[in-house]
Structure 1
């Protein structure tokens, strides 16, 4: 795999210590790399994640992004040391950057798959819920325990209640009790549960399947999926008709249909 880093020395040092990116076979693997801090989402790490995702968005060679974490914990949420005795402006900066980074996961054209090996709590759970897909080990747990320390997980609530039934989300938010991986799978928070030893291979297998499709087509579909979600059924159909009409006019659609009829593999545009 090719590891990418910034040319700026100061930026490279932060990048190397908190976030790494490797690229192979049209897949970019982004790794949260603060294992000694349980991959807590500091303001700096959130900003770096946002910046790197923004860069990947325009990378024509990257078709899928895997988001993983070093160490036994996926992410424990916000770095609580940055949340003691701060000004209103500082709290707002932190939560605004968090919201921006989470939305960036949805905004980039490539599908993002969370590879969850262990505990994902608070903003860490938010991170999983914000990804397009998620594969988790049997050892993973998901929780929004902010209520236990006097801080309701209001921002994690946003993607969580859109990923699982509202009453289940409310119980998680009100009690702080965790969901085991199998229960999270049953509720739709994650797509697959596998033994820890198979996690990397299972995630990459899913990524490779997606990467074999047209990058342009997948990007159209990802954008449309989220955009129509808040529409009425009638408005969603009107929107979908326009999107699918536009999609049908694209080179990869013409190539894909021709390849199917000619019984050959399609050749997608770069």
Structure 2
């Protein structure tokens, strides 16, 4: 099925959510969709889409959507506990859910809420509604949506792993410079083995602040940290501009490496 394949092609989370919401709306006959994910024991909206704004799906940081409440919380709570799809042909006619403030104020007719699950673990909850037509989410449409939800569960899990890998590599770059990896002939830190080494001539530049101890003794800890951070913010770009990289920081000291030639270290030192 083309729709299922389209979902499986995405691995970057924002793009996946946008594609998933568009496809779910198109195949469900819904006018509105809200996708919620669990963060710190709360189910919070991660993506919102309405047919009138289908090309402008709102996908935002959890903090930006934390106060969004344009969906029936009691239906969300019911499905997150049962982990089974809930279909209402006319939400206002149900004794169990019609008293909800959202249902009373917005009066949606057809409502569908279903979990998106991967290996028995819920990835999120999808809420769909149609305000104008009753019985939209019939047996055939529900069957299609279940199939799409199964593929979405796999894709969301893959996207989650991809995001974790990105965060991992971004974190390691703070401690293992890319230039060092390049010197070792490695693409990422996972490829480095104990004892890996190369032999080559490089220039090492060492710098610290004269009278640093006496200077910071007069400052509060907060002011001392701010002073050092401003110093590092000034030094680091100049070192990079002269083809060097910072090997490590130690207090107010910086040890920089210039792998290309000594002229880079000298010109960098003069610039500093």
TM over 0.5: no
Larger % of helix: which?
1
Shorter-chain TM range is: under 0.3
Larger gyration radius, structure 1 or structure 2: 2
Q: Which one has a larger percent strand, Structure 1 or Structure 2?
A: 2
If the length of structure 2 is used for normalisation, what is the TM-score? Answer: 0.21
What TM-score does the superposition give when structure 1 sets the normalisation length? 0.21
